[in-house]
Each structure stands twice: as structure tokens, then as C-alpha cells.
Structure 1
Amino acid sequence: MPGLLADIERLVTCESPSSDLAAVAASADVVARVGSRHLGVPPERIVLAGRTHLRWRFGSGPARVLVLGHHDTVWPLGSLATHPYTVDDGVLRGPGCFDMKAGLVMAFHAVAALTDREGVTILVTGDEELGSPSSRQLIEDEAAGCDAALVLEASADGGALKTERKGVSLYRVQATGRAAHAGLEPERGVNATIELAHQVLAVARLGDAARGTTVTPTLLSAGTTTNTVPASGEFAVDVRVRDAGEQDRVDKEMRALESTVEGAGVEVLGGPNRPPLEARSSRALFERAQGIAARLGLAPLTSAAVGGASDGNLTAGIGTPTLDGLGAVGGGAHAETEHVLVGELPGRTLLLSELVADLLATARRS
């Protein structure tokens, strides 16, 4: 336990907001040192679009198990001044501790405990909180052909493993019109704001609560001055879906949007960002983990379907069996209440180690 906490402190006290390339690079140095000390070898350092990712590969044969995490966070530089690293009454706090620096430390300790690491890959990316723009292909390449991808994102409420994640699509709906003086001759203009109002309502109707599909217009902007008919504007759309069919359905309907104001134009940009992690992708792995937890005398494992996405969506999207939420137990991701329950760390780390070992043993017998 002291080793786990000391390593988590090292990672948490090196701030790593995704948007700061220098901070992410500095964090990668710390993660590399901590991981290398336990694993006995340094990682490959992969820099893509200025973002630093780390990879440890063990053995010369095919990869069997991908252990996946990220070291970037949503917390800006200076957050430690207001949210310092602390451990009080069994609760660990600090920016990024739950999402997901504790999970990285757990991964290093779990893999280090294996007597044979042949076939294990550990991949730690540096841009997950941005949607993995530079690391997506790397993640998919590493997951391809693996028997399992184990994602060290934090658990759901009560320590539940994440067996389903909604897929995400992101859009921008742009409207074009024609500017005119709003007081002198508004009739000469084509109002992009009015066009956007129609489109916002049309987009909001694409959701389907019965199927768990949410289509949410979010950030909106239009116009230049208060006395000018707006010539252009746009709004963002956040889509969350449980299955690929819904993601396709919404995408087709988004692209079928047409202008309603005479003379205005509408263009839809963006599209699917992450496919869903569906229950069928995780079912067998979850059942295996349940059996291991029972054998170890740990509390029965529970599962949860969540709306947020992770890199587990990417591994599941290419057909690799994926189990997510294997990291720390706690709560408050991205919030002032972010915390980790210290007492859960040893058992969850042991569960991960035994799960990897079990998967490797099965692979060797096949």
C-alpha cells in the first residue's frame, strides 16, 4: 500500500492538462519513471501531433492483452494550489487522482506482479480528455488482434465496472444568411439566427429517450453586432447513443437537415467520434472478472452502463473484447469532489493482475 500511494502522489503532483503540450510531456517523463521502476524497462515514447504517449510491449510474440490508460487530465495548471494532494481518513484527493492517475499506478503494480508478461502491452496516452485526436489510430492498432483490452478508467458508482458506454457523435451546424442594418432595412437581410433557431429545434427532436439516445444542441453563436441582421452563425451538437444503429440513424438525419429561411444556407460538419461500447463486447470479460473476484474473496463485482465515452469505445469499436472501469474506486471525476477510496486500491490491483494472468494462461492453452 505505501508504494501505491507514493506513486499516485508522484503522478498527481505533476499536473498534465491535455491542452498544454509541455505539461503533458513533463507528465509523461514522470509516468515513464514510475512505470520503468516497476516494470524494469523503459517505455517507447511516441509523440504524435506534439502529444506524448508511452508504450510498454512485453515478449516477442503476438500481443494478447492491452492494458490501456491515459495520463492527461482536465485540470488546468495551478489546480494543485486549490486542490492539493491529500490523504485523510482513507480518502485520497487531488486533481486527476480518480480520472485516472491512480488507475495508471494500479496497472504498473498489477503487471509488475506477473511472473510472465509475454503478450502484455501497456499503452498510456496523453490526449484522451480531448477525444484522443492523435492517439486514436495508435490505440486501434495496439488493440487489433488482442484477446482483451482492459481499460483503467475509474469505476462507476460503488466500484461498478463499466460494461457499456454510449457512443459519441459531435457536430457543428452552420447557417449562412445576408447581413443588413437591423433598423434601417432589416428586410434586405437573411437572418442566420432565425435559421439556427429552426435547426436547433429540429436537431433536438432527433433524440429518442426510449432507446437512450440523446441529441443535445450546446454552444451557440451568431451575428456580429446588436444592430446587424446576422449573416452567419453555428451551434454544436452532442450525441450519445447505446448502439451503432442509432449512431447511423442520427448521422443520416443530421446530414439531411435543410434550410427553412428563404435565402439561408445550412451545412453540417462533424460526425461519429467514438462508437458505442456495447454489452456484448464486455460480457465474457465481466463474467471472467466476477469469477476471479469470487476466488480472491473480494466483494461481488457489479456493472454499469454509462453515458461518458473513453478509449474503451475505440477498442470495442474494432471488435476487441473490452472491459472498462477497472481503475480506482471513488468519485467526483472532473469535479472539486474528485477522490479515491484508499482501502479499495489493493484488492482492485490484485483483481487486475489476476485477470491479466488468467487471460494470458487461456491464450497459451489455445
Structure 2
Amino acid sequence: MLADLERLVNCESPSHDFQAVATSANVIADLIEERLGQRPETVEIGGCQHLRLRFGTPRVIVLTHHDTVWPRGTLADIPFSNVDGLIRGPGCFDMKLGLVQAIHSLAVVLERGGSQALDGVNLLVTGDEETGSATSRALIESEAHGCAGALVLEAAGDGGALKIERKGVSSYRVAVQGRAAHAGLEPEKGVNSSIELAHQILAIETLADAATGTTVTPTTLSAGTTRNTVPAEATIDVDVRVRIRVEQKRVDAAMRSLVPKNPAATLSVSGGMNRPPMERASAVGLFDRAERIAMREGLGNLTAVAVGGASDGNFTAGIGVPTLDGLGAVGGGAHARSEHALAEMVPPRTALVAALIEELCGSPLARQER
């Protein structure tokens, strides 16, 4: 498994580089064919390559991605390594080890029960998760529809915690159009977009609700052209995170209802809801099942955590599919130079996923849930 991981890490796959993602998809397709005896289908959408391997009519979707945040050339600075069980390399934690574990968990099921044991599994490997899944969202939702469960091999939380709740994400850009004028000669003839945007930022900030876990954060700001000109244009980006869908809809309605304080200025709001929240109710049943398996198989105690970051599991949970996330690598440092994974946790996590797949595909309860 570690040799397979090294192979994938050494094939750099930054999300924005579709050529690199295509090369990575081909390497992964080779690996899947070697380990499972079947080659996945390549699904290209909007120039981005995703992989899909179905075994019969899907009852469980195993969800992974192969793109990373790291640009080409990072390997020269942070090469793959495994020293004393500490794995390093760009994308090892988020989430190429999770992908390797997904492939090998299916290989375990295949070895134990033959090809019929995989009947009902759908392995999906997307190529644009890190940039919001613009090309893969419809594919994910379509492939997950009607499944008894979605197992997401994203990296685990601190200490190996499984992720049973993720906040939904919305992103907006608020743009103000004013009127330029000379800041020294006749500023009164201008319509200052920066002042108007300041009023809007204060209004936007009030949309947050700490009691429900809703955060509304103005982020990237841009205004003006030169020091001595009344700025005619200004923009602010806004990041929204919510625990429950009703809050996402509330904030969305409020953002679209913003009106300029200065009637001479015009205001436009673009963007919207990107990922629905993965609410706790969608995960608790699968987490309970995972706990029972871990106890039965001697895989150690499992813990659960709610996180603010989103994943493709938000999409499966958003269409009503029970979803358990964080089943991948145990380690830390996602998106940072300190990214790492713990080799000792690879076998037990792979065994856990294999057992979950077997139960979801074969148990009477899984059929009843479907």
C-alpha cells in the first residue's frame, strides 16, 4: 500500500492543471486495474477527468478525489518519504492515502468474498474537489442517488476522529459601482464605492449567528485605481459556513437583499450556495455501525468530530444519502508543508472500510435502508 501511495504522490495533480489531473487519472486507472482486475471508466467533464468503477447496481458509494492543492514542482521541495512510520509528500494526507486505502479495501472484500462480494459498490474518484467540485458535483449526486451509504475517504480529524458533521459553504462577491472623480479637485462629484462597500461590510457582518454556528466572513477586498481618485468600483468576497440548511437559505436571501445606502451607487451580488451542510443526522447511523465493527474486529476506539471544512460528502448528505466522512488517512497538516500521515493507522482504517462495505452491500439492514 505504501508503494502504491508513493506512486500516486509522485504523480503531481494540482486541481487547476487539467493535463496533470489527466495524467494522474491514467496512473490511478492502471493501479485500480492491477489491484481489482477491472479498469475504471474515465468520465471527462469540462476538461477535468474523473474515474468511476461500478460493480452491479450501486448500494454504497466509496468517494475519493485525486487532485491536490500543490502546484507542479512541489515534489522537488517536499519529496515522498516514509521515515519511522511518518509519511510525507504533497497530497499524502489530503487525500492520496485515502484513495489508496479505498482501492485496497475493495481488494480485501474481493479476496474474502470473490467478485460477488463487490456487487453494489461504486468507486468514484473525482479530479476537482479542492476547487469546489464544479465539474463533478452533478456526477457525485447522480452516482450516490439511492445508495444506502456514502463512505468518504477524506483524511480523518485530529487523533483519527471520523467526521460526522461538516458545515455547508456559500461564497459571494459583492460589487459596488460608484463614480470616479478627482480626489483633490472635485471629490463631491464622485460616488465613493469604498464608502458604500464599508456600509455593506458592516451589514454583512450582522448576518452571522454564533448560536447556530453560522459564520459570515468578509475576506478579500479590492477598491480604487489610484491614490488621488475617488474609487468608482469596489468588491468584497464573503465566506459563509453553516451547520444547518435553513441557515444557508436565510443568509442567501439576506445577501441577495442587500441595497445600497447611497442611492447614487449600484450594488450587485454574485455567487451563492456551493455545498449544503452535512448534518449530523446523516452520519450517526453509519458511525454507530463503524463503532460496532471496530469493537468486533479489535480496531480500537473510534471518535467523532464536527468540522468547519467541507468535502464531497456534503453533496451526498445533501441529497439524503447516509454519509460517513474522515475514513482516510490519519495524520495532519492538510494544505501545509507539515502535511503527513501515520503508517501504523493504514491497516486498521483499511480494514474498517472493507467491513463497512461488506455490511452495506450484503446485510439485510442495508437492503431495507435502500
Note whether the superposition's TM-score is higher than 0.5.
Answer: yes
Q: 1:80 aligns with which of 61, 75, 78?
A: 75
**Residue 311 in structure 1 maps to residue 312 in structure 2:** yes
Q: CA deviation at 1:295?
A: 0.4
Q: CA deviation at 1:110?
A: 0.4
Aligned to 1:110: 105
Q: Provide the C-alpha distance between the structure 2 equivalents of 1:313 and 1:220, rounded to a whole number of angstroms.
A: 28
Q: CA deviation at 1:359?
A: 0.9
**Residue 277 in structure 1 maps to residue 278 in structure 2:** yes
Aligned to 2:58: 63
- SS of the residue 1:113 aligns to: helix
TM-score by length of 2: 0.96
Shift in CA distance, 126/365, structure 1 to aligned 2, threshold 3 Å: closer
Q: Provide the C-alpha distance between the structure 2 equivalents of 1:342 and 1:365, rounded to a whole number of angstroms.
A: 35
Q: Provide the C-alpha distance between the structure 1 equivalents of 2:335 and 2:31, rounded to a whole number of angstroms.
A: 24
Q: Provide the C-alpha distance between the structure 2 equivalents of 1:26 and 1:341, rounded to a whole number of angstroms.
A: 27
The answer for unaligned runs of 5 or more in structure 2 is: none
Q: CA deviation at 1:261?
A: 2.1
**Structure 1 residues 230-288: Cα deviation after superposition (integer angstroms, max 9, x where no partner):** 11111100000000011111111111111012401111111111000000000100000
**Residue 91 in structure 1 maps to residue 86 in structure 2:** yes
Given that 2:161 and 2:305 are in contact with CA atoms closer than 8 Å, whether structure 1 keeps it comes out as yes
Given that 1:194 and 1:261 are in contact with CA atoms closer than 8 Å, whether structure 2 keeps it comes out as no
Aligned to 1:129: 130
Q: CA deviation at 1:98?
A: 0.3
Q: What's the Cα RMSD here?
A: 0.9
Given that 1:175 and 1:265 are in contact with CA atoms closer than 8 Å, whether structure 2 keeps it comes out as yes
Q: Provide the C-alpha distance between the structure 1 equivalents of 2:68 and 2:367, rounded to a whole number of angstroms.
A: 39
- SS of the residue 1:260 aligns to: coil
TM-score by length of 1: 0.97
Q: How does 1:231-270 map to 2 (within 5 A)?
A: 231-270=232-271
The answer for unaligned runs of 5 or more in structure 1 is: none
Q: Provide the C-alpha distance between the structure 1 equivalents of 2:307 and 2:198, rounded to a whole number of angstroms.
A: 30
**Residue 44 in structure 1 maps to residue 41 in structure 2:** yes
Structure 1 segments (4+ residues) deviating >4 Å: 363-366
Aligned to 1:12: 9
Q: Provide the C-alpha distance between the structure 2 equivalents of 1:255 and 1:28, rounded to a whole number of angstroms.
A: 39
Q: Provide the C-alpha distance between the structure 1 equivalents of 2:263 and 2:139, rounded to a whole number of angstroms.
A: 46
Q: Provide the C-alpha distance between the structure 1 equivalents of 2:140 and 2:62, rounded to a whole number of angstroms.
A: 11
**Residue 21 in structure 1 maps to residue 22 in structure 2:** no
Q: Provide the C-alpha distance between the structure 2 equivalents of 1:216 and 1:34, rounded to a whole number of angstroms.
A: 42
What amino acid sits opposite 1:10 in the alignment? R
Q: Provide the C-alpha distance between the structure 1 equivalents of 2:182 and 2:263, rounded to a whole number of angstroms.
A: 18
Given that 2:148 and 2:367 are in contact with CA atoms closer than 8 Å, whether structure 1 keeps it comes out as no
Q: Provide the C-alpha distance between the structure 2 equivalents of 1:112 and 1:130, rounded to a whole number of angstroms.
A: 30
Q: Provide the C-alpha distance between the structure 2 equivalents of 1:213 and 1:272, rounded to a whole number of angstroms.
A: 14
Given that 2:260 and 2:267 are in contact with CA atoms closer than 8 Å, whether structure 1 keeps it comes out as yes
What amino acid sits opposite 1:362 in the alignment? S
Q: Provide the C-alpha distance between the structure 2 equivalents of 1:117 and 1:342, rounded to a whole number of angstroms.
A: 26
**Structure 1 residues 99-139: Cα deviation after superposition (integer angstroms, max 9, x where no partner):** 00000000000011112100100000000001000000000
Query: Structure 1 vs Structure 2: percent identity of aligned residues?
Result: 61
Aligned to 2:121: 120
Q: CA deviation at 1:365?
A: 5.9
Q: Provide the C-alpha distance between the structure 2 equivalents of 1:365 and 1:243, rounded to a whole number of angstroms.
A: 28
Aligned to 1:183: 184
Q: Provide the C-alpha distance between the structure 2 equivalents of 1:100 and 1:198, rounded to a whole number of angstroms.
A: 41
Q: How does 1:142-181 map to 2 (within 5 A)?
A: 142-181=143-182
Q: Provide the C-alpha distance between the structure 2 equivalents of 1:250 and 1:279, rounded to a whole number of angstroms.
A: 21
